[in-house]
């Protein structure tokens, strides 16, 4: 696959956006599997809930847990893109987030626990993913605003965040129930929508697929199907 056609040239390096990365059948399959996961797999946060698959990343090393085959299928699909060190590394962790309408996530960076390439599959609903460059304390907020960029993540799409976009930018999702598309959406020309469209949010399931750099020699073979 020639990935250059999916790179967003209007954004700092490097963002890849692939619409229809999965099929409607695969989307329904993922949502069903996520919703039917055992209750112990869910972690409830203030503004959303999530699942960790593959282990819980820690600075001292992630204790590796077996990943069920249904999820490994989509990890393999991502690995085939060879975005983790040109294919020399394989994804070993999936963070699944559930966002209800009106839920989001505060600006943050994923940090040095992971190889600096994060690939996210979106199911169930669109969202707007915002990026803002990290600034030093003495730099003006206006400058940070000028270095902001947003992306529309459609259902069944995949976005890859790499390079300086991973290391130098915060990313976030605003707490909204609908989004009006404007010129801040840098990948609008790669979607089926137009400037001015208003999109109502539904429940979104995101699969964030990563390579955890440091893992423990201890492995747990217990997993939920």
Instruction: Work out the average pLDDT over 81-100.
Output: 95
Tokens at 185, concatenated: 């959406």
pLDDT at 89: 95
Tokens at 1, concatenated: 């696959």
pLDDT at 30: 98
pLDDT at 143: 57
The whole-angstrom separation of Cα 25 and Cα 61 is 36
- Domain residue spans in the chain? 4-209
Cα angle 48, 195, 47 (rounded to 5 degrees) comes to 10
pLDDT at 215: 92
Is a pLDDT exceeding 60 seen at residue 12?
yes
Percent of the chain whose pLDDT exceeds 70: 91
Question: DSSP string covering 17-60, please?
Answer: EETTSS-HHHHHHHHHHHHTS-GGGEEE-SS-EEEEES----TT
The topology under which CATH files domain 4-209 is Jelly Rolls (2.60.120)
pLDDT at 174: 97
Cα angle 213, 218, 222 (rounded to 5 degrees) comes to 105
The whole-angstrom separation of Cα 62 and Cα 56 is 6
| 1 — pLDDT class (breaks 50, 70, 90) | confident
The better pLDDT of the pair 137, 191 is held by: 191
Each residue of 116-171: pLDDT tens digit?
A: 999 999 999 999 999 998 876 655 555 555 578 999 999 999 999 999 999 999 99
pLDDT at 117: 95
129 has which bridge partners? 151
Is a pLDDT exceeding 70 seen at residue 4?
yes
Instruction: Work out the average pLDDT over 90-103.
Output: 97
The whole-angstrom separation of Cα 24 and Cα 94 is 20
| 15 — pLDDT class (breaks 50, 70, 90) | very high
H-helix segments, the chain: 24-35, 69-79, 141-146, 163-167
Is the distance from CB of 197 to CB of 79 less than 8 angstroms? Answer: no
Is a pLDDT exceeding 60 seen at residue 222?
no
């Amino acid at each position: 696959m020639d990935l250059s056609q999916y790179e967003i040239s209007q954004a700092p390096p490097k963002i890849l956006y692939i619409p229809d990365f999965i099929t409607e059948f695969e989307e329904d399959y993922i949502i069903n599997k996520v919703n039917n996961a055992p209750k112990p797999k869910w972690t409830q946060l203030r503004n959303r809930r999530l699942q960790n698959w593959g282990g819980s990343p820690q600075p001292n090393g992630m204790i590796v847990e077996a990943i069920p085959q249904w999820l490994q299928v989509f990890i393999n699909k991502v690995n085939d893109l060879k975005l983790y060190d040109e294919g020399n590394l394989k994804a070993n962790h999936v963070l699944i987030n559930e966002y209800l309408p009106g839920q989001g996530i505060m600006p943050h960076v994923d940090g040095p626990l992971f190889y600096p390439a994060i690939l996210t599959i979106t199911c169930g609903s669109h969202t707007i993913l915002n990026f803002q460059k990290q600034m030093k304390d003495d730099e003006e907020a206006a400058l940070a605003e000028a270095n902001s960029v947003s992306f529309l993540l459609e259902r069944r799409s995949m976005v890859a965040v790499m390079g300086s976009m991973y290391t130098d930018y915060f990313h976030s999702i605003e707490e909204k129930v609908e989004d009006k598309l404007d010129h801040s959406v840098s990948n609008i020309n790669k979607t089926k929508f137009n400037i001015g469209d208003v999109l109502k949010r539904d429940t979104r399931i995101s699969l964030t697929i990563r390579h955890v750099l440091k893992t423990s020699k201890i492995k747990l073979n217990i997993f939920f199907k």
